[in-house]
Amino acid sequence: MANPKSAYSITTKKGKLDTHIFVIWVDNEAGVLARVVGLFSGRGYNIESLAVAEVDATKNISRITIVTTGTPQVIDQIKLQLKKLVPVHKVADFKREDKKVIFKEMALLKVVGKKKKIEKCLKACKSFNPVILDETKQSVVIQITALRREIDKMSKKLKPHGLTSTSRTGAIAMTRGAETFK
Amino acid sequence: MSKLYSGAEIVFKCLEDQDVEFIFGYPGGAVLPIYDELKNHSSIKHILVRHEQGAGHAAEGYARSSGKPGVVLVTSGPGATNVVTALTDAYMDSVPLVCISGQVPTHLIGTDAFQECDTTGITRPCTKHNWLVKDIKDLPKILHDAFHVATTGRPGPVLVDIPKDIQFDKANYSKPKKVKKTNGKSHNRFSQNDIDELINLISKAKKPVVYSGGGVINSGPKASEALREFVRLIGFPITSTLQGLGAFPGDDNQFIGMLGMHGTYEANNAMHDCDLLINIGARFDDRITGKIDEFSPKSKKVHIDIDPSSINKIIKVDLAIVGDVNEVLKSTIKKINKKQNGIKSSNKQNISKWWEQIQKWRTKDSLGFINSKKTIKPQYAVQRLYELTKNQDTFITTEVGQHQMWAAQHYKFNKPNRWMTSGGLGTMGYGLPAAVGVQIAHPDKLVIDIAGEASVLMTMQEMSTAVQYNLPIKIFVLNNQYMGMVRQWQELLHEKNYSESYSEALPDFVKLAEAYGCKGIIAKNPEELDSKIKEMVDHNGPVIFDCHVDPNENCFPMIPSGKPHNQMILGPNDKKDNKITSKGKALV
């Protein structure tokens, strides 16, 4: 629609979109991921990436990391809505620019080609802790850890050098220093 | 070792420990063990409805009129999907419901078994929380948690899905424990500083308005008392949302009527021009705010709400107080009284000019209509109904549409929990089953469903429930042969193209009433209206009242699409031509 405004939800100004990383501690129970993800889709928030796994087997706690964009008002709503979910224990949100927080994403890159090409690729990956997980005469699987946009750049860069397949984890986050998020 | 109970027994033991007296339900294959157990529990009465949606709405009516959670029992598959509308309705209007649904046996889940559906998946977005019971040992705790979640904080519906094998399995029973706050979800987070700030704003205001909502009703009858004391203490004008009606007496001079799309001229103008807006338990719904960037542009805004996610969701506020309305109001009253800072007298002087302005707006008589001697005007019908029932404690439910707005405008409520209407979801067919639930909770009170002929046909089958349990509900149908609100919008926004809004082939409601085994009354002209209403009220049994009203009447005042509060269309008496722009039409 040319004019998607609705009389009853016109925002005065379209606020600036920020990228935020949400870290959500939840009870590891059936359907909990669906609740979190369903909240995002149901309320029209977007998910750029999602990473989830159990982190405390005795307390049965999983940690979900979601990268999303929104206006400050939307970010605020996401946080408050998440906190209302029964299996959610706590919610942290960080701006992507936040210096106190480490964000990392892992990627597996499969490069197919001649030795020379593969070496070129490995060289390009140098600053992202490359680990060779598998090697054959005409292929290699490289593991790198980096920021989201760095991996974006890498996969663009390596495409012409024989990158055939990329697998990525989505960002995970941790605060710097001795403090933990309460 | 303590005694082992079957899952079905545990369900009833939980219900007993939660002081449940009534269940609204409908049996089916996957809940048969629970139905089998019913006979052993005489303190719990089961109300057999005719459709699961009816069970949900009846439980809503029961909950809203009694303050206790409503309990619904349905079978798997279609039983569960039929109740989804009522769950969503309860979710939107914050009504505490506990729905227990049967599920196919655990080993058949995921096999597309007969009457299987992903109930917890389907109801996830329309409940506060839901559970699929996978182990009989979890059942007692889950059921007690269900009641806790439904009734604490901002109330809402929950669902517990119990596979049939779990209903047969055996386990120990455990009584409800004093529940700690689930995962740190506390609800009273306000500090004395917030209260001080509120009092400071109150003492400075020159053009204040209080805007109260359903949160006051949900906070319990004490919250309504606190609201009355608070508003009388500060002398401010008060307006209410649709759901908040009854929290403050509708015939009180400080009450300036309902606000919003079909609110009064004085309420909406007060909202627009005020310098202090105190929102108590309302959520800035779009039917209230109108055009958001022109909503109450000059005011400081205070928002008192138990749900932190309601704050700053739609309207940015200057002072947010997260807490239970009753608690917040009580501590505010206490502080004002203790301070003796002269608020009582000086503030009333501060706002005397504001009251003069409000009186001026009141002279517009925005709820006025041109009465007729020939046909019954729907507003007149509601007014007469009010006059003839106001001296007894009457409970009103409604369906959705024009009649609902006329009921809200012309029926004056003096007590909370007397007004049950579907506001958030706008569910046609809500009122009749809701009336069933209200009458169950209040067997000796007068319960009237102010209905439209289109809405009431959506859940008409519940008349059979009313007859079975001898519930003397009165279905007062304002019959204008149209889906009136649809027709009104088509008249105002779609060049009078009344596409599919005329109700062809309406049933004869008197005969329909008789077919159900209840009384039918028809009224066609204004002279006979009073005596017919009296006949309805005096009849000791369910009645369908077919009130033929003017089919062309529109519901005014009205804030048209895309307009702010101070640009309302008033009734036919209004000379100002307030046309809706073509841009506005797109914005519904």
How confident is the model over B457-473, as a mean pLDDT?
Answer: 98
Q: What percent of chain B has pLDDT over 70?
A: 95
The ipTM estimated for the assembled molecules is: 0.90
CB-CB neighbors (< 8 A) of A10 in chain B: 291-293, 587
- Does position B437 have pLDDT exceeding 80, yes or no? yes
Q: Do A10 and B293 touch (CB under 8 A)?
A: yes
Q: Does A72 touch chain B if contact means CB atoms closer than 8 Å?
A: no
Q: Does A88 touch chain B if contact means CB atoms closer than 8 Å?
A: yes
Q: Do A85 and B149 touch (CB under 8 A)?
A: no
Q: 3-class SS at B15?
A: helix
Q: Does A14 touch chain B if contact means CB atoms closer than 8 Å?
A: no
Residue of A8, A27, A83, A85 to mutate, testing the B interface (most B Cβ within 10 Å of its Cβ): A8
Q: Where are the beta strands (DSSP E) in B151-268?
A: 157-163, 170-171, 208-212, 238-240, 255-258
pLDDT at residue number B182: 60
Q: Do A7 and B588 touch (CB under 8 A)?
A: yes
pLDDT at residue number B92: 97
* Closest Cα in chain A to B563: A7
Q: Do A7 and B293 touch (CB under 8 A)?
A: no
Give catalytic status of residue B509 as yes or no.
no
- Segment B349-374, tens digit of pLDDT: 889 999 999 999 999 999 999 999 99
- Out of B16, B45, B114, B511, pick the active-site residue: B114
pLDDT at residue number B346: 62
- Out of B68, B115, B222, B387, pick the active-site residue: B115
| Among the partner residues A6, A86, A89, nearest to B587 by beta-carbon distance | A6
- Does position B78 have pLDDT exceeding 70, yes or no? yes
| pLDDT band of B562, cuts 50, 70, 90 | confident
* Closest Cα in chain A to B184: A89
CB-CB neighbors (< 8 A) of A12 in chain B: 292-293
Q: Does A90 touch chain B if contact means CB atoms closer than 8 Å?
A: yes
Q: Are A48 and A19 in contact (CB under 8 A)?
A: yes
pLDDT at residue number B572: 77
pLDDT at residue number A7: 42
- Segment B19-72, tens digit of pLDDT: 999 999 999 999 999 999 999 999 999 999 999 999 999 999 999 999 999 999
Give catalytic status of residue B567 as yes or no.
no
Q: Are B136 and B79 in contact (CB under 8 A)?
A: no
Range of lowest pLDDT (A124-128, A160-164, B239-243, B577-581) = B577-581
| pLDDT band of B348, cuts 50, 70, 90 | confident
- Does position B575 have pLDDT exceeding 70, yes or no? no
- Does position B434 have pLDDT exceeding 90, yes or no? yes
Which one-letter DSSP state was computed for residue A180? -
- Segment B148-200, tens digit of pLDDT: 999 999 999 999 999 999 999 999 999 988 766 666 566 778 899 999 999 99
Residue of B88, B289, B309 to mutate, testing the A interface (most A Cβ within 10 Å of its Cβ): B309
- Does position B322 have pLDDT exceeding 80, yes or no? yes
pLDDT at residue number B345: 58
pLDDT at residue number B61: 98
| Among the partner residues B182, B587, B588, nearest to A86 by beta-carbon distance | B182
In angstroms, the separation between the Cα of residue B565 and the nearest Cα of chain A is 12
How confident is the model over B227-242, as a mean pLDDT?
Answer: 96
The residue that leads in pLDDT, B341 or B264, is B264
Residue B276 and residue B265: Cα distance in Å, rounded?
18
pLDDT at residue number A176: 94
What pTM does this model have?
0.94
Range of lowest pLDDT (A21-25, B77-81, B216-220, B567-571) = B567-571
Q: What percent of chain B has pLDDT over 90?
A: 86
- Out of B12, B13, B53, B164, pick the active-site residue: B164
Q: Which tokens go with A20?
A: 């935020």
| Among the partner residues B182, B183, B308, nearest to A80 by beta-carbon distance | B308
* Closest Cα in chain A to B312: A73
pLDDT at residue number B492: 85
Q: Are B197 and B73 in contact (CB under 8 A)?
A: no
Say how many C-beta atoms besides its own lie within 10 A of residue A46's C-beta.
12
Indicate the residue type of B85. T
CB-CB neighbors (< 8 A) of A35 in chain B: 124
Give catalytic status of residue B524 as yes or no.
no
How many interface pairs between A and B have CB atoms less than 8 angstroms apart? 77
Give catalytic status of residue B255 as yes or no.
no
- Does position B504 have pLDDT exceeding 70, yes or no? yes
pLDDT at residue number B342: 57
- Segment B297-315, tens digit of pLDDT: 999 999 999 999 999 999 9
Q: Do A86 and B314 touch (CB under 8 A)?
A: no
Q: Does A180 touch chain B if contact means CB atoms closer than 8 Å?
A: no
Name the phi and psi angles at A180, rounded to 5. Answer: -115, 155
Q: Do B586 and A12 touch (CB under 8 A)?
A: no
Q: Rounded to an integer, what is the distance from CA B516 to the centroid of its chain?
A: 27
Q: Which residues of chain A have pLDDT under 70?
A: 1-14
| Among the partner residues B183, B291, B307, nearest to A86 by beta-carbon distance | B183
Give catalytic status of residue B261 as yes or no.
no
Q: Are B281 and B289 in contact (CB under 8 A)?
A: no
- Out of B9, B37, B52, B266, pick the active-site residue: B52
- Does position B586 have pLDDT exceeding 60, yes or no? no
pLDDT at residue number B484: 95
CB-CB neighbors (< 8 A) of A26 in chain B: none
How confident is the model over B373-398, as a mean pLDDT?
Answer: 97
**CA angle (B493, B494, B500) in 5-degree steps:** 125
Nearest to B213, CA basis, from B416, B412, B395: B416
DSSP notation for B414-480: -STTSEE---SS--TT-HHHHHHHHHHH-TTSEEEEEEEHHHHTTSGGGHHHHHHTT---EEEEEE-
CB-CB neighbors (< 8 A) of A81 in chain B: 309
Which one-letter DSSP state was computed for residue B52? H
